[in-house]
Each structure stands twice: as C-alpha cells, then as structure tokens.
Amino acid sequence: MRGSLSHCIFLSIAAHLYFFSLAAAEEPGQKNLNDQKQERIVETTHSLKIQGKELRYKAAAGQIHLKDSEGKVKATFFYVGYTKDGVKDHSQRPLTFCFNGGPGSSSVWLHMGLLGPVRVAMDEEGSPLRPYRLTENEYTLLDHTDLIFIDPISTGYSRQAHGEDPKQFHSYDEDIKSVGEFIRLYTTRNDRWLSPKFIIGESYGTTRAAGLVLHLHEAYNMYFDGLVLVSTALNYQTFRFHEGNDLPYITFLPGYAATAWYHHKIPRSEYPNLEQLLKDSEDFAYGAYASALMKGDKISNEERQDIVRKLSFFTGLSEQYIKNSHFRVPTHRFTKELLRDSERTVGRFDSRYTGIAYDPPADRMEYDPSAELVFGAFTSVFNHYILSDLNWTDDQEYKILTNVFPWDWGKAKGYYVNVATDLREAMSRNPHLKVMIANGYYDLATPYFAAEYTLDHIDLDPAIRDNIRIILYDAGHMMYTHKPSLIRMKRDLSKFYHETLAH
C-alpha cells in the first residue's frame, strides 16, 4: 500500500500514490523531536513459524542521522530492521532495503502487507478484518533475507533537523542521495558490505530504486545483486495524461478492459477468461487504436466508427461517451464513468473495488475507494505494533503519507521522467544485477501494460536481456493484499532470490 501523487501516481495511495496526505513542514514554534544529540535504537527479539519451522529474529526500530560535510545533523532517518538470529557469517546472508513511493509515502505498505514478519489481517480478497489487528506473516521474506524498511525524510518518523527546510529533501536527486547515504551508513555500521544486497521498491519507490542502484554504483562502488520493482513507474510518459501525450491511452487500455470484464461490462460469454481478453485488447491497443490516435483528424469516418465501436467494447463505456471523448478517456474519468448507472466509483489502485459516488453528476472520481479501504487499517495497526511489539515511543505523528509537493524533478524538469535509462546503465555496468518486476492487472495507477511497454523500449543488450523478468498478478497496485497473489508473490520472490544468488 502506499502513496498518492496527485497527478502522478502513486501510492498517494491518494497511496501508495495518486500519492497521499498531510504537510511535511515543521509546525511553528515546535522543536522537531528527532533533533536529538544521540541516535536511538530499540531492539527486541521475536519468533514466528514458517511452514511449521520456527524462525527467530531480532527487530530494531532506530534512527540514523544524516549529516553535512561539517558534521552538522541535517535530518534523521527512521527505520525498522529485521535480522535473523544465529547467523554466524553475514557475508552469506542477503540484506534487502525496502521502501514505498509517493513520493511522500512511508514504508508501511511493503512492511505490513508483504515482506515483514507481521502483517495487517485481511480476508482473501484484500479487505482488512474488523476490528483491525495484526497477524503473523508466514509469507514474509525474512527466511531468505534480512529486511530494512526505510522511511524517506518527511515520512514515518523521519524528519529534517530543527531549523532545516524539509523542501531540500523533496526532489528526485536529493531523495536518491539521502536514501543512498542511509544505505551506505547502515551497511557500514553493521558490517554488511560483503552481504548480497537487494532493493525492493514499490510505485514511486521503483523510480527511486532504479536511480539508487546507479547512484550507489557510481558514488560508493556498491553493487547490488537484485532489484524488485513492485507496481512499476519507470517512464512517466506511459501514465501521465497530459494534453498532446497519447501514449497513456494505449498503455491503460488493457487495464480498462480487465476492469470492465471484472465488473461484467464485457460479456463473459464472449470472454470466459481474462487471458484472451487481455491479449486481444493489447493487440488492439498497439494496432488499430494506436494508429487512429496517430492519425488524428486524418482518420476516415469508417475507421472512426470502427474505433468507437471496439473501444466501447473493450472499455465497457458507451459509444456516445467514447465519441464525445475523441477516443481518449483518462483514468479519473474512466473510474467514474464505468459504473455510473449504479452510482459507484471504481478504484484506481485496485479497480476490483468500488465505492459510493457521493457526487454522481461529477465527471471524475471524488476519491479512490481502494485506497480508503486500507488507509485506516494500516495506520492503526502500525501505530499499535511500533509501540506494543517494538517498544518504540514517540509523540510525533508517524506520517503514513504526507504532502511533499511541489516535488523537484531535477534533470527531468520540463519533460517526462524516465529512469529506465538509469536501470539500463546500471545493468550494463553490473551484468550480474537481476530484476524482478511485479504488476497487477487491476492497477490503474501504474498499469501493467505501461511496464511492458517500457521494458520493450529499454534497449538492453541481448546478453543481459534475460536478467529482467516481469510477473503479473490478479489484483491491483498492492497486489499482495489479495491472499492468492500474496501466496504467489512469496513463491516468486523465493525463486528470484534463489536463482539470483545461485549465479
């Protein structure tokens, strides 16, 4: 779960994000509680059972100061780390750094939904159980790797030092530098330079991860073994609905088709299974639809009518709506229009979910019901867990999501961010780097077809092309909230770590 960028993605989750909530600035007259002379670490011991076997581990909730060249504290990172007990040789034990996106999201979603030793209790489809509660996570990745969950500055308990402007950390470049410095410090202080190293990022966290793996390579000669990108956002041209940019209408179409099929707006008699529908919608998107968008006003009346008819079928929207939209329906309108007849809004992070359209005449979604479904549960459960299980006390608000906009896009200012080029460079310079990409069919924030398009245009050398593997799941942005997808993800991640470390 994770962060909502308002126009961007993600995990606002609103997540994960159109990406998420509150202000990051320090309140006037209130001294930042992280502005302490000493860093604080609280360690506790725990155990859980995975497939009937006990795994004992140590949890550390802690802080690391970020300092300038003169030793002045600029900010304090908060993290939660899990290390397996009884490991004598840490050079053989993998170490994985994890974070979510936003920008402006804490790491709570990957932490409490997929990777950590405990998770939010949910039903099979992904709805939190009530009353909210914790449960052991038998699908944790802790049996394969130690896990470090990082909250970027302004999220979680991570804050700028007293008197420092938080905006200095709210940029593509500074975010990568600061998180990179945290990784260097943690690795050095804990003597983990010889450990196999991985990064797992979600949503905007995949943008950060692709930039980080190159930055750490160049800045510190720190090479990584594996990269896991969950709900991928590498090339922003593929999902930003800006005037003059027709690419997102192509990359979102299969996700629209999956959503329409799920809500029975596409006859199951014609497509009894999703697989064939996705193939046909992809062929149409890359073929006749892409051609029609490129032709613009030069399209013939006969071709126009054919596109309207087919686009109406694949989206579940009326032909008149498609015609009035000039073949172009952005996500915020699709999610509101699909179930307008029943006054329901479809989720953006996970379009399987619906919510009440409290402003029926509006032409865009008022909120994301799939985000609202998990916000309260993850916030409540984490705040309870950090206090009761990890013994961390802090009067500050743990900022699950925070508003870090305007975000400075650095070198990408004025055009679309595309960190696929950074990933290509990192993989070319370190041909041992393996990449697993996980996307959900029902994700209308970072659609799976956009990830596939990006990979098809990354221009990797054939010698390392097989180092990237993409896996698709029957859920949305946080596919792991869906129990069958969570089980499959654990299996896929286990295989990825095993194969990566075997070479």
pLDDT for 86-123, tens place per residue? 999 999 999 999 999 999 999 999 999 999 999 999 99
Contacts of 194 (CB under 8 A, 6+ apart): 90, 91
Q: Name the strand (E) or helix (H) holding 11.
A: strand 10-11
Residues 427-439 pLDDT 10s: 999 999 999 999 9
**Angle made by CA atoms 133, 137, 141, in degrees to the nearest 5:** 145
Quote the pLDDT of residue 37: 64
pTM assigned to the model: 0.93
Distance, in Å, from the CA atom of 88 to the CA atom of 110, rounded to the nearest integer, reads 28
Could you tell me the pLDDT band of residue 263, with boundaries at 50, 70 and 90? very high
Which amino acid makes up residue 33? L
Quote the pLDDT of residue 34: 44
Quote the pLDDT of residue 215: 98
| Overall average pLDDT of the 130-143 stretch | 97
Distance, in Å, from the CA atom of 374 to the CA atom of 378, rounded to the nearest integer, reads 6
Quote the pLDDT of residue 20: 33
Contact in structure between 132 and 118 (CB atoms under 8 Å): no
Among 4-13, 52-61, 451-460, which stretch is predicted with the lowest mean pLDDT? 4-13
| Overall average pLDDT of the 152-166 stretch | 97
Quote the pLDDT of residue 26: 37
| Percentage of the chain lying above the pLDDT 90 cut | 91
| Alpha-carbon distances of 434 from 100, 140, 197, 214, 426, rounded to whole Å | 20, 21, 11, 14, 11
Quote the pLDDT of residue 163: 95
Residues 269-306 pLDDT 10s: 999 999 999 999 999 999 999 999 999 999 999 999 99
Strand locations in 14-163 (E): 18-19, 41-50, 53-67, 73-84, 95-99, 118-120, 134-136, 146-151, 159-160
Residue ranges per structural domain of the chain: 10-83+92-237+376-400+417-502, 242-370
Partnered with residue 57 across adjacent β-strands are 46, 84
Residue 173 pLDDT more than 90?
yes
| Percentage of the chain lying above the pLDDT 70 cut | 92
Residue of higher predicted confidence among 223 and 20: 223
Contacts of 321 (CB under 8 A, 6+ apart): 312, 329, 337
Residue 85 pLDDT more than 90?
yes
Q: Report which of 95, 140, 100 is spatially closest to residue 117, judged by C-alpha positions.
A: 140
Residue 312 pLDDT more than 50?
yes
Quote the pLDDT of residue 18: 34
Contact in structure between 289 and 326 (CB atoms under 8 Å): no
> What's CA 300's distance to the chain center, in Å?
41
Contacts of 376 (CB under 8 A, 6+ apart): 128, 132
Quote the pLDDT of residue 78: 98
Quote the pLDDT of residue 412: 72
Tokens representing 69 are: 């060249």
| Overall average pLDDT of the 497-501 stretch | 98
Which residue stretches of 246-300 are H helix? 247-251, 253-262, 274-284, 290-295
Task: Specify the pairing of strand 118-120 against strand 226-230.
Answer: unpaired
| Overall average pLDDT of the 341-366 stretch | 95
Residue 81 pLDDT more than 90?
yes
Q: Report which of 483, 388, 480 is spatially closest to residue 110, judged by C-alpha positions.
A: 480
Phi, psi dihedrals of residue 287, rounded to the nearest 5°: -100, -100
C-alpha R_g of the chain: 22
Burial of 193 (0-12, 13-18, 19+ CB in 10 A): middle
Residues 358-408 pLDDT 10s: 998 999 999 999 999 999 999 999 999 999 999 999 999 999 999 999 999
| DSSP-assigned letters across all residues of 305-363 | HHHHHHHHHHH---HHHHHHTTT---HHHHHHHTTGGGTEEE-SS-TT-EEE-SSTT-S
Distance, in Å, from the CA atom of 479 to the CA atom of 471, rounded to the nearest integer, reads 11
Contact in structure between 202 and 409 (CB atoms under 8 Å): no
CATH numeric code, 10-83+92-237+376-400+417-502:
3.40.50.1820
| DSSP-assigned letters across all residues of 164-226 | --GGGG-BHHHHHHHHHHHHHHHHHHTT-TTS-EEEEEETHHHHHHHHHHHHHHHHH----SE
Residue 7 pLDDT more than 80?
no
Burial of 300 (0-12, 13-18, 19+ CB in 10 A): exposed
Tokens representing 253 are: 């179409």
Residue 503 pLDDT more than 50?
yes
Contact in structure between 116 and 149 (CB atoms under 8 Å): yes
Quote the pLDDT of residue 415: 81
